[in-house]
Amino acid sequence: MIGIVILAFGIILKDTGTLGSRSGIMFWGSVCFVMTGCLAAAVLDNRDSSVVKSSLLANAISIIAALVAVILFSVDLWHMDSAMLGCLNWPEKCGQYEQVLPLIMWYGIYGALVSFALLEFIISICTSVFACKVTCITATQVVYSQPQVYTQTTVYTQPQVNTQQLAPPPMYNPTWNQQVPQPPPPPAPVINYNMV
């Protein structure tokens, strides 16, 4: 996102003739930073060591580009500051609205560019540190594993037999507890029909 903002400012300031616009840092620096961001997003999906190393290399290039951008934008700010002081000290040299307002706008735009380039530099360093940690951990941590051999051994032991008679469980329902003797069913009533 920062690279796109710097690119947009570069399109606006391309014909100003400043050191930053003549060097093209607003274009190739922002494109480099956008490509670095794309590689960092690719590392999240694929943690292959070649992708991580290419992201680390792109971060290193982006650090250099951001440092160059900070230096060039700061030099441009310094030159604009001296031009602005000349207009403020000798107002007859510069028209009231002809030169001062564009210088104030340039001062604001280049101040934003310096802050964005500095933020780009810090983000690139932080991303490089994390990528280096991932690369160093995967490169130096070698795990040796021996094949696991499983053998099955059967151990025979004497079962411990309890020779005591167990007490029957308490009787809750005689139909479920078959160990408890059930009383015999009551006799059926006998009906005698005496015929006389």
Residue 134 lies in a domain: yes
Residue 30 lies in a domain: yes
Question: What is the sign, positive or negative, of the torsion defined by CA atoms of 74, 79, 82, 86?
Answer: negative
If one counts the domains in the chain, the total is: 1
Residue 164 lies in a domain: no
Domain with 94 in it: 2-140
* Residues 56 and 132 sit within 8 Å (Cβ to Cβ): yes
Tens-digit pLDDT profile for the chain (196 aa)?
Answer: 777 887 777 777 777 777 777 788 888 888 888 888 888 888 878 777 788 888 888 888 888 988 998 888 888 877 766 655 556 555 565 655 556 666 677 778 888 888 888 888 898 888 888 877 777 665 445 555 566 666 666 666 666 676 777 776 666 665 655 665 667 777 777 777 766 5
In this prediction the pTM is 0.57
DSSP state of 146: P
